[in-house]
Amino acid sequence: MAEGQRVWPDPLDGDEMTVQTRFLGFLRETAAQKVSGLSREQAAAAPLPSSPRTTALGVLKHLTAVERWWLVIEAGGADVPSLWAGSPDPSWDLASGDDVESVLAGYRAEWKRVTDALAGLTPEDRTRRSGEFTVRWVLAHVVQETARHVGHLDALRELADGSVGE
């Protein structure tokens, strides 16, 4: 799939791994589109009083950390640093240089790491780091986590500039 292109997975094509990764790709591009076009100020705003750390940029940074941990490190066994060092979860925090372009670039770069990490794995395989999960479970978990946070991005985008829609 070309960068920036959302493609709904074909319901009659693909094995389990293909279908799950296509759904993840669709959700990733949806997340990216929800943030694209926002100013740094809009994307860094935290308009939800009950969630003062929830910003559009923070959601993308968190999704980058999710993919790094679950798909690259846990499933793929890569020896790279986690983006979740500390508590509370710092993946939501923004640095002064974070803007839409840089955070999107980091998120997209993680997709390449994921592709490399999952190469040759099947849904039935145990994860390479701990062996406590199947690749099937990890992919399903990341798909549901991404879908949940795309919902947050729906609300954040609407509050930022009134845009609605998938």
Quick one: pLDDT at residue 84?
86
Tokens of 139: 């992919």
- Confidence (pLDDT) at 4: 72
Q: Please check whether residue 10 lies inside any domain of the structure.
A: no
Torsion angle of alpha carbons 20, 24, 25, 28, nearest 10°?
180
Least confident residue range of 39-48, 77-86, 102-111, 129-138: 77-86
Q: Is residue 11 part of a domain?
A: no
66: domain CATH number is 1.20.120.450
Asked if residue 9 belongs to a domain, the reply is no
State which residues form the domain around 57.
16-161
Is 6 part of any domain? no
pLDDT in tens, 45-86: 999 999 999 999 999 999 999 999 999 999 999 999 999 877
Residue 93 sits at φ, ψ, to 5 deg, of: -75, 145
Q: For residue 136, which of 40, 15, 39 has the smallest C-alpha distance?
A: 15
Any domain includes 40 = yes
Q: Is 110 part of a structural domain of the chain?
A: yes
Q: Flag whether 7 is in a domain.
A: no
How many structural domains compose the chain?
1
In a domain, 31, yes or no: yes
Contact residues for 106 (Cβ-Cβ < 8 A; gap 6+) = 60, 61, 64
